[in-house]
Amino acid sequence: MKNIFLALVAVLMAHSATAQEDYPQGIYMSLEEIVSKTPSVKDSAQIIKLKGCPNDRNDYVLKSEDKKTKKLLKKKAWAYSNGDTLYLNGSAFKVQKGYTKLISSGRYILFNAAMTKQRAALYATAQVVSGVVIGLLTGFMVLQHPAGKRYHYAYDTETKELHTITLDFLEKELPEINPNAYHALKSDIYIMKKTSPHQRAYLKKLIIGKYTPWLNYKQCVTL
């Protein structure tokens, strides 16, 4: 069983589809500008990576000495490119504030980010309810906020819908996009299910990370 686990980990870490594309430097003020790769604001910004994994925001903040640019980056911008990497504004994509790196673009804008605003609201409500329960009864565990947890997301550029990427989502979408990737996914899931529950949780994250970029690849590529 241990050998199966280690073998699958090696395979998952060895194969990945990386697709950071070239986006001209500037501030992208709409989804349409991201899709067409035409930033309407040519201003530059300083990219700062936050320490650790904050609960209430994504991993990067963008700063500018210009007040107008600073305001755009904080509230209205959809993304910013330094000419090398595209950083997405979490607020524009209905997740937590702050910026995160693009994984891949195409039909889907794929990225890894903090929880959605809706999920955060549910956790906040659950925390309050749990606090009330503990005030009345002892022995109940408060639902804890998942510290620094990150999720894979797919923002559909056609329907304008945000999807949390799960194994079910990949199994649903990949057959028509990339049959080879789909069959490889099914094989990895089959092996994953043979491992222990603890190993399974770890492998699940690796599998989702591996196959997320393939949502934007229609060509039949053998993994």
Amino acid 55: pLDDT: 74
Name the burial class of residue 23, with classes exposed (0-12), middle (13-18) and buried (19+) by CB atoms within 10 angstroms of its CB. buried
* Interacting residues of 32 by C-beta distance below 8 A, sequence separation 6+: none
Res 223 pLDDT > 80: no
List pLDDT tens digits, range 13-55.
555 555 567 899 999 999 999 999 999 999 999 999 998 877 7
Q: Is the dihedral of CA 33, 34, 37, 38 positive or negative?
A: positive
Task: Kindly give, in sequence order, each residue whose CB lies less than 8 Å from that of residue 102, ignoring residues fewer than 6 positions away.
Answer: 20, 21, 23, 79, 85, 86, 87, 88, 109, 110, 111
For residue range 46-91, list pLDDT tens digits in order: 999 998 877 778 999 999 999 999 999 988 999 999 999 999 999 9
**Which H/E stretch holds residue 105?**
strand 99-105
